[in-house]
Amino acid sequence: MAATIVALIPLFLILYYLVHKGLGAWKPTFFTTDPTGNTFFGGAHIGGIKSAILGTIEMVALAAAISIPIGIGVAVWLVEYGRDSWFANTVRFFTDVMTGVPSIVFGLFVYIVLIVGTGSTYAGYKGSIALALLMLPIVTRAGEVVLLLVPNSLRESALALGAPRWRVIGSVVLPTALPGLLTGMLLAVARAAGETAPLLFTAAAANATSLNLGDFMNSLPVQIYNDITKPTTAVVERAWGAALTLVLMILILNMAARLLARRNRLA
């Protein structure tokens, strides 16, 4: 009990400071204007975080579009085909290793391969690739766990009806596991949305909003990272406001994931 309270103290302090300092920065224009880059004089000139919010959404969406199909595909293969074969176990092992890789390593990898290696520069899609690498093991592992929860008797009765295995997977296994799979996907998205390190030297930072994933792209974590080191009070405040925004976005994703988990027919 005492330990629980001790553990809760930092949590509440974080939330308190986040709301206390972050709400101060929230003004209508905070969400509708891009940061100006003019951080020296402070005041109203510094702009908001529109480009960071949109950049995060764009890059995470692309990362999800890359990692979710692959991750679910791998999970399906592991559960339905690979099972206990040595190759399946090797894949599992490396998936676990990937889960434990520090996120900055993914950023570094993409930096070396796609930026140094190609002699080009930062781009939003390169950030997405780094995030996708980060999400891939999470999606795969969550997917595998959920697919394993689908009772074997359902597969068997579908097979016994004369359905080919791929139809059993498509029509029975995946629909049955869907709520759980969505939960895993949302948690992976939430994890990626909060990552700074993979984006620092892949997508870099920008001021202007861009809908082109080939451009430099701003994101909430990187915006916070940059702002918090600035000497101007208003800019540091903007970092708090951005942090509160990011936490709320992730909270919403997590709540959606929990709601879906509750609807899960398997748990």
Partner 1 sequence: MTPADPRSKVVDMDAEHQPELQPREAAAPEAPADAPVGGLRQPIVPAASTAGGQAPGETPATAPAVQVQDLRAYYGDSLQLKGIDLEFRANEVTAIIGPSGCGKSTLIRCINRMHEEIPGAHAEGRVLLGGADVYDPSVDVVAVRRAIGMVFQKPNPFPTMSVFDNVAAGLRLSARRRDNLDEKVEEALRGAGLWGEVSDRLGQPGIGLSGGQQQRLCIARSLAVNPQVILMDEPCSALDPIATLKIEELIDELKARVTIVIVTHNMQQAARVADRTAFMLSGELVEVGPTETIFTQPSDPRTEEYVTGKFG
Tell me the DSSP string of 65-109. HHHHHHHHHHHHIIIIIITTSHHHHHHHHHHHHHHHS-HHHHHHH
145 binds partner 1 (CB under 8 A): no
What is the C-alpha to C-alpha distance for residues 243 and 217, in angstroms, rounded to an integer? 18
89 binds partner 1 (CB under 8 A): no
176 binds partner 1 (CB under 8 A): yes
What is the C-alpha to C-alpha distance for residues 168 and 159, in angstroms, rounded to an integer? 7
153 binds partner 1 (CB under 8 A): yes
Nearest distance, CB of residue 153 and partner 1, angstroms: 4
Nearest distance, CB of residue 262 and partner 1, angstroms: 15
The upper half-sphere exposure of residue 100, i.e. CA atoms within 13 Å in the direction of its Cβ, equals 5
List the alpha helices (DSSP H) in 151-232: 152-160, 165-168, 174-193, 197-200, 220-228
Q: Which SS3 state, helix, strand or coil, does residue 35 take?
A: strand
Stretch that binds partner 1, among 18-26, 117-125, 151-159, 239-247 (CB under 8 A): 151-159
Q: Which is nearer to partner 1, 171 or 229 (CB)?
A: 171
Q: Which of 78, 132, 139, 158 binds partner 1 (CB under 8 A)?
A: 158
Phi-psi region of 150 (alpha: psi -120 to 50; beta: other; left: phi over 0): beta
- Residues constituting the chain: 267
Q: How far is CA 251 from the centre of its chain?
A: 12
C-beta separation of 185 from 64 below 8 A: yes
Q: Which of 54, 62, 172, 242 binds partner 1 (CB under 8 A)?
A: 172
Q: Which is nearer to partner 1, 3 or 84 (CB)?
A: 84
161 binds partner 1 (CB under 8 A): yes
Nearest distance, CB of residue 86 and partner 1, angstroms: 13
Q: Which is nearer to partner 1, 20 or 83 (CB)?
A: 83
Residue 33's Cβ-count burial label (10 Å; 0-12, 13-18, 19+) is middle
Nearest distance, CB of residue 88 and partner 1, angstroms: 11
Q: Which is nearer to partner 1, 168 or 189 (CB)?
A: 168
91 binds partner 1 (CB under 8 A): no
Q: Which is nearer to partner 1, 43 or 162 (CB)?
A: 162
Count of residues interacting with partner 1 (CB under 8 A): 23
27 binds partner 1 (CB under 8 A): no
133 binds partner 1 (CB under 8 A): no
- Provide the terminal-to-terminal Cα distance of the chain, rounded to the nearest Å: 28
C-beta separation of 16 from 240 below 8 A: no
Q: Which of 8, 154, 211, 251 binds partner 1 (CB under 8 A)?
A: 154
Residues that bind partner 1 (CB under 8 A): 83-84, 151, 153-164, 167-168, 171-172, 175-176, 178, 265
